[in-house]
Structure 1
């Protein structure tokens, strides 16, 4: 999946807050469906940064008092990958380990936290979420 250059320019100009709010809102909406047994105590008060290497932007979030929230704190762990590679992970077309060993996914900072998150990504079936995306969007983007 190649991101159109015009979309990259738009994304690079956006402030971090709107996409970060959208991501944490989505995580909170789907948390019980995707991870019914997970209490995320190991993530409590920790900050994760998802950096999109191909557009030079990212977002940070944390888990506090039972909810995902945006964060401006220094990240404990930073994941770096292209937007396409994050999409590949979500669609389970490649596992995070493969992308990591191909140097398409980087993990910097707290290694233990990074491994827990990587393992969670690898074990998560995101497909129920794609079913909720309107048909027109799924057809347009091949979801």
Structure 2
């Protein structure tokens, strides 16, 4: 029964449709996100990002693990959605859109999401050229090591669950695309 021509043809059609749909979602989602983000004022984006990052890095802040960022600026470029900001540290994370960066990290949302969900290693992405690090190499390594130390468990349960579900959805789409 498994070699039945009608069933094989139908399975192939479903596979082709799934592949096309996955490719379209992966291509279309960043464009929609970019247009939506463009409507949000920079101050609001920075305030929201600052609150999220301070919450995410609460443990590292309390343990003085971010002190190496004092007086330094790290630029984050999320290329596929056109989001760029700089961050520094002075008892809490400080975000800006107008600072000269000492080091720049560039990646797309899928890669950042997989790193956040601990489903991908930043080193692997770096060697695959999906994570670009330019500028102060030593500072870049410290930031990368900080990324590796972040525990998803420090986030509120809803945020943790959302990141995990998005990462699983992304991996599923990537398998079909």
Residue equivalent to 2:94: 69
> Quick check: which one's strand share is greater?
1
CA root-mean-square deviation:
2.7
Aligned to 1:90: 116
After TM superposition, list the pairs within 5 Å mapping 1:29-68 onto structure 2: 29-33=55-59, 36-64=62-90, 66-68=91-93
CA drift at 1:115: 0.5
Match of 1:81 among 107, 111, 132: 107
On the 8 A contact 2:55/2:155 being kept in 1, the answer is no
Q: Could you say which structure has the higher helix fraction?
A: 2
User: Is the CA contact 2:152–2:160 (under 8 Å) kept in the aligned structure 1?
Assistant: no
- Higher Cα radius of gyration: 2
CA gap 1:134/1:85 in 2 versus in 1, 3 angstroms: closer
Provide the secondary structure at the position in 2 that maps to 1:54. Answer: helix
Matched residue count: 141
Does residue 7 of the first structure (1) align with residue 65 of the second (2)?
no
Partners of 1:28 and 1:95 in 2: how far apart? 22
2:75–2:84 contact (8 Å) kept in structure 1: yes
1:123: Cα distance to partner?
Answer: 2.2
Cα deviation, residue 107, structure 1: 0.5
- State the TM-score, normalizing by the size of structure 1: 0.81
State the SS of the aligned residue for 2:74: strand
- 1:140 is displaced (CA, Å) by 7.5
TM-score by length of 2: 0.67
Q: CA deviation at 1:141?
A: 4.1
Where does the alignment leave 5 or more consecutive residues of structure 1 unmatched? none
Equivalent residues of 1:46, 1:76 under 8 A apart: yes
